[in-house]
C-alpha cells in the first residue's frame, strides 16, 4: 500500500493555529495570551514558509490537495493576524471564546492552502461554524443574529456542495487542477450548473448579492469584535475560496460559465450595496451595505475570464481580485476596530455592574409600561430602547469623536477615506486601480459600472467622515485598545506607503 508523503513544514502554520486552539481551551485565565501568541507565531511561520520555495503535499499523481506557495501563505498569515487583532479588541471573555476564535483561524489557514473542493469547503465551514456561537450575544437581538446567520450559512453551504457534486460528476475529480482539464470535454450544461451553484454558495461568505441580506442584520446585532471578524477574516475566506476555484479550477474548462456568474454577482452586488448604504443612518449597517458593494468590486476582475482577452491573462485578473480583497479587508478591519474602541460594549457594562455589586439592567428590555411606572415619558423610553439594537450606534453619535478620541478617530477616518478610494489613504486607491486596469482591457462596460459605483460611494463615505471630523457633539468614550489600534493603523500605513507588499504576495500563478 502506498502512503502519501506529508510535508510538515508546509503544514506548520496550521499546526501552530491548532495548538493555539487546544491551549486556549485548557489554560483558563491564560487562554487569551496563549491564543494570541500561538496565532502570532502561526502568522510568522506562514511568512517564513512563503519566503522559501513553494511546497506541495497530499499528492494524487500530479495533483495536490494542499499548496504552501507565496499567495497561500500570505493569506494564511493574514488570517492569523486578523484573528489576533480581533482578540486584542475583545476585552475579557471566557476561555471558550478564544478556543472558537482560534479554531476559526485554523480553518482560514487551511483554506488558504486548499487545492481540492473537499478540503476547501471543509476549511470554509471550519472558518464559519464557530461564528454561529460567537455572533449570538445574550438577548433577543443576539439570538436573532445567530439564527439568521445559521440559516443563511446552511443554505449557502448546501448550494455550494450541490455545485461541487455537479462538477465532480462532470470532471470525475475534486482537485482544482483536475477540474481545469476534466471539464474541457464534459457536458456543458452540467459544468455550467455546477459552476453557478458552487460560486453562488461561496459568494455568501463574501456577502455578495444575492446572498447578502444576512450581513447588515448580523453585523449590526453581533458583538462589535465579532462584527470586526465577520467583516474581515470571514470575507477574506470567501474571497480566497472564489479566486482559487475560478482560477485554478474553472478558468480553463468552464471559464465562460464562471465569468458570466461572476459578472452577474458583481453587478448585482455593486448596485444593491451602494443603494442600501445610501439610506443608512447607523454606522455598522452603512459599513455592512458598503461591504456588499466592495464584494462586487472583488468579483469584477474574475468576470473577464468569460472574454477572450481575459482568458489570455487570467492570472492578472485573479491577482487583481485577491489584491482588492486584501486592501478592502484591511480597511474594513481598521474601521470596525476603531468603532469597537469608542463604543461601550453591553457585556462590559454588565460586567462592571456585577463587579460593583449591582444588578445589570439591559436598556433594550425597558418597556412603555415601565416608563409609565417611573414617571418617564413613553416616547423617550421607546427611543432609548431603539438606540440599543446594535452596539455600533448611529452615525450622529460619532460627532465630536475627533476631539475626544483622536487615535481611534484618526484610524476610522483613514479607513473610511480608504474605502472611498481617496488620498491620503492610498490603499483604497491602489485597490481600485488594480481592478480597473484589468477591466479596461477586456470588459470596458464592467469598468464603467465599477467606476460609477466608486463615485456613488462618495455620497455616503464623505458625510460619514465629515461627521467624525467636523461634527459637534459629545463622544461617549475616550477610546480603548490603543495597542491594537496602533498595530492595524501601522499596517494600513505600510500598505499605503508600500503597496508592493500586498501586490507581491497576491500575485497568483500556477
Specify whether 27 is located in the same domain as 149: no
Specify whether 68 is located in the same domain as 188: no
Closest CA to 389 of 276, 222, 225, 151: 222
Question: What is the rounded CA–CA span in Å between residue 449 and residue 466?
Answer: 26
| Residue 376 within a domain | no
Secondary structure of residue 42 in the 3-state scheme: helix
| Number of domains within the chain | 2
| Contact call for residues 259 and 312 (beta carbons, < 8 A) | no
pLDDT band (50, 70, 90) for residue 355: very low
Q: Which residues pair with 116 in a beta bridge?
A: 175
Is the pLDDT at 36 greater than 60? The verdict is yes
| Residue 427 within a domain | yes
> Which of 113, 143, 163 is at the close of a domain?
113
| Residue 420 within a domain | yes
Interval 50-109: pLDDT, tens: 998 889 988 887 888 999 999 999 999 999 999 999 999 998 898 899 999 999 999 999
pLDDT band (50, 70, 90) for residue 46: very high
| Residue 367 within a domain | no
Specify whether 16 is located in the same domain as 150: no
How is 265-291 classified by DSSP, letter by letter? Answer: HHHHHHHHHHHHHHT--BHHHHHHHHH
Cell numbers that stand for 407 in this block: 487615535
| Per-residue model confidence (pLDDT) at position 196 | 94
Helix 140-171 and helix 214-221, axial crossing angle in degrees, nearest 10: 140
Question: What is the rounded CA–CA span in Å between residue 499 and residue 373?
Answer: 60
Specify whether 161 is located in the same domain as 274: yes
Closest CA to 197 of 147, 257, 249: 257
| Residue 387 within a domain | no
3-state per-residue secondary structure call for 395-458: HHHHCCHHHHCHHHHHHHHHHHHHHHCCCCCHHHHHHHHHHHHHHHCCCHHHHHHHHHHHHHHH
| Per-residue model confidence (pLDDT) at position 349 | 38
The residues, ordered by sequence, that sit 6+ positions from 318 with a Cβ below 8 Å of its Cβ are 243, 246, 247, 251, 301, 302, 508
Is the pLDDT at 258 greater than 70? The verdict is yes
Phi, psi of 175 (to 5 degrees): -70, 135
Specify whether 210 is located in the same domain as 293: yes
- Model confidence, pTM: 0.89
The residues, ordered by sequence, that sit 6+ positions from 230 with a Cβ below 8 Å of its Cβ are 131, 135, 215, 218, 219, 222
Place of cell 416616547: 379
Q: Report the chain's mean pLDDT, rounded to a whole number.
A: 86
229: part of which helix (H) or strand (E)? Answer: helix 224-229
Tally helices (H) and strands (E) across the chain.
24, 2
| Per-residue model confidence (pLDDT) at position 5 | 78
What average pLDDT score do residues 436-448 get? 90
Is the pLDDT at 354 greater than 60? The verdict is no
pLDDT band (50, 70, 90) for residue 343: confident
Interval 466-507: pLDDT, tens: 999 887 766 555 668 999 999 999 999 999 999 888 888 888
Question: What is the rounded CA–CA span in Å between residue 350 and residue 362?
Answer: 8
The residues, ordered by sequence, that sit 6+ positions from 388 with a Cβ below 8 Å of its Cβ are 346, 362, 363, 364
> Which of 48, 83, 113 is at the close of a domain?
113
Q: Where are the alpha helices (DSSP H) in 30-94?
A: 31-51, 70-88
Question: What is the rounded CA–CA span in Å between residue 88 and residue 300?
Answer: 33
| Residue 372 within a domain | no
Question: What is the rounded CA–CA span in Å between residue 401 and residue 408?
Answer: 8
Between strands 63-68 and 55-60, the pairing is antiparallel
Is the pLDDT at 248 greater than 50? The verdict is yes
What average pLDDT score do residues 13-17 get? 96
| Residue 158 within a domain | yes
Specify whether 238 is located in the same domain as 301: yes
> Which of 86, 113, 140 is at the close of a domain?
113
| Per-residue model confidence (pLDDT) at position 59 | 85
Q: In terms of residue numbers, what domain contains 418?
A: 114-347+404-505
Count of CB atoms within 10 A of residue 322's CB?
29
| Per-residue model confidence (pLDDT) at position 310 | 58
Question: What is the rounded CA–CA span in Å between residue 496 and residue 430?
Answer: 8
| Residue 459 within a domain | yes
| Contact call for residues 241 and 124 (beta carbons, < 8 A) | yes
Q: Integer distance in angstroms from the first to the last C-alpha of the chain? A: 30
| Contact call for residues 204 and 152 (beta carbons, < 8 A) | yes
Interval 359-404: pLDDT, tens: 333 333 333 333 333 333 333 332 333 334 567 788 998 888 888 8
318: part of which helix (H) or strand (E)? Answer: helix 314-342
The residues, ordered by sequence, that sit 6+ positions from 264 with a Cβ below 8 Å of its Cβ are none
Specify whether 272 is located in the same domain as 420: yes
Q: Regarding predicted confidence, which is higher, 312 or 447? A: 447
| Per-residue model confidence (pLDDT) at position 389 | 54
Specify whether 101 is located in the same domain as 159: no
Cell numbers that stand for 212 in this block: 447578502
Specify whether 254 is located in the same domain as 147: yes
Place of cell 421607546: 382
Interval 424-437: pLDDT, tens: 888 889 999 999 99
| Per-residue model confidence (pLDDT) at position 379 | 33
pLDDT band (50, 70, 90) for residue 165: very high
Interval 172-221: pLDDT, tens: 999 998 998 888 878 889 999 999 999 999 999 899 988 888 999 999 99
Cell numbers that stand for 139 in this block: 438577548
Specify whether 104 is located in the same domain as 179: no
Specify whether 109 is located in the same domain as 205: no
pLDDT band (50, 70, 90) for residue 21: very high
Helix 314-342 and helix 235-244, axial crossing angle in degrees, nearest 10: 170
pLDDT band (50, 70, 90) for residue 351: very low
According to DSSP, residue 264 is labeled H
Residue 326: C-alpha distances to residues 12, 212, 242, 323, 491 (Å): 23, 20, 14, 5, 12
Scored b (16 or more CB within 10 A) or e, 257-283 reads: bbbbbbbbbbbbbbbbbbebbeebebb
Specify whether 442 is located in the same domain as 423: yes
Amino acid at each position: 500500500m502506498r502512503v502519501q508523503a506529508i510535508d510538515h513544514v508546509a503544514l506548520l502554520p496550521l499546526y501552530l493555529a491548532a495548538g493555539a486552539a487546544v491551549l486556549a481551551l485548557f489554560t483558563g485565565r491564560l487562554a487569551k495570551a496563549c491564543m494570541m501568541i500561538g496565532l502570532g507565531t502561526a502568522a510568522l511561520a506562514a511568512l517564513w514558509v512563503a519566503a522559501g520555495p513553494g511546497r506541495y503535499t497530499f499528492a494524487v499523481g500530479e495533483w495536490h490537495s494542499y499548496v504552501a506557495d507565496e499567495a497561500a501563505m500570505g493569506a494564511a498569515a493574514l488570517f492569523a493576524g486578523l484573528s489576533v487583532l480581533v482578540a486584542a479588541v475583545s476585552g475579557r471573555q471566557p476561555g471558550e471564546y478564544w478556543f472558537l476564535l482560534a479554531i476559526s483561524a485554523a480553518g482560514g489557514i487551511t483554506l488558504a492552502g486548499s487545492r481540492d473542493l473537499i478540503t476547501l469547503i471543509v476549511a470554509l465551514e471550519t472558518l464559519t461554524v464557530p461564528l454561529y456561537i460567537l455572533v449570538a450575544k445574550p438577548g433577543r437581538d443576539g439570538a436573532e443574529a445567530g439564527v439568521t446567520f445559521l440559516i443563511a450559512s446552511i443554505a449557502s453551504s448546501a448550494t455550494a456542495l450541490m455545485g461541487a457534486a455537479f462538477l465532480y460528476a462532470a470532471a470525475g475529480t475534486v482537485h482544482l487542477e483536475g477540474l481545469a482539464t476534466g471539464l474541457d470535454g464534459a457536458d456543458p450544461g452540467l459544468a455550467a450548473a455546477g459552476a453557478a451553484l458552487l460560486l453562488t454558495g461561496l459568494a455568501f461568505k463574501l456577502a455578495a448579492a444575492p446572498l447578502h441580506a444576512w450581513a447588515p442584520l448580523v453585523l449590526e446585532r453581533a458583538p462589535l469584535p465579532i462584527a470586526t471578524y465577520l467583516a474581515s477574516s470571514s470575507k477574506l475566506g470567501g474571497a480566497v475560496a472564489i479566486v482559487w476555484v475560478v482560477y485554478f479550477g474553472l478558468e480553463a474548462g468552464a471559464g465562460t460559465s464562471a465569468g458570466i456568474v461572476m459578472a452577474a454577482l458583481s453587478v448585482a452586488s455593486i448596485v444593491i450595496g451602494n443603494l442600501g448604504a445610501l439610506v443608512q443612518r447607523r454606522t455598522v449597517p452603512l459599513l455592512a451595505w458598503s461591504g456588499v458593494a466592495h464584494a462586487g468590486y472583488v468579483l469584477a476582475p474574475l468576470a473577464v475570464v468569460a472574454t477572450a482577452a481575459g482568458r489570455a491573462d487570467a492570472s492578472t485578473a485573479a491577482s487583481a481580485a485577491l489584491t482588492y480583497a486584501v486592501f478592502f479587508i484591511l480597511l474594513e478591519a481598521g474601521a470596525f476596530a476603531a468603532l469597537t474602541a469608542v463604543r461601550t460594549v453591553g457585556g462590559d457594562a454588565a460586567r462592571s455592574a456585577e463587579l460593583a455589586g449591582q444588578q445589570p439592567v439591559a436598556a433594550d428590555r425597558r418597556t412603555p409600561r415601565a416608563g409609565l411606572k417611573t414617571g418617564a415619558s413613553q416616547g423617550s423610553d421607546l427611543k432609548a430602547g431603539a438606540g440599543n439594537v446594535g452596539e455600533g450606534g448611529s452615525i450622529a453619535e460619532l460627532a465630536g469623536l475627533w476631539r475626544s478620541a483622536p487615535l481611534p478617530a484618526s484610524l476610522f477616518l483613514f479607513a473610511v477615506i480608504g474605502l472611498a478610494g481617496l488620498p491620503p489613504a492610498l490603499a483604497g486607491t491602489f485597490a481600485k486601480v488594480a481592478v480597473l486596469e484589468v477591466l479596461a482591457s477586456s470588459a470596458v462596460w464592467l469598468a464603467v459600472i465599477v467606476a460609477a459605483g466608486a463615485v456613488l460611494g462618495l455620497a455616503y463615505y464623505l458625510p460619514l467622515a465629515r461627521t467624525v471630523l467636523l461634527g459637534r457633539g459629545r463622544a461617549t468614550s475616550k477610546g480603548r485598545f490603543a495597542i491594537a489600534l496602533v498595530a492595524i493603523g501601522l499596517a494600513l500605513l505600510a500598505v499605503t506607503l508600500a503597496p508592493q507588499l500586498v501586490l507581491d504576495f497576491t500575485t497568483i500563478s500556477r
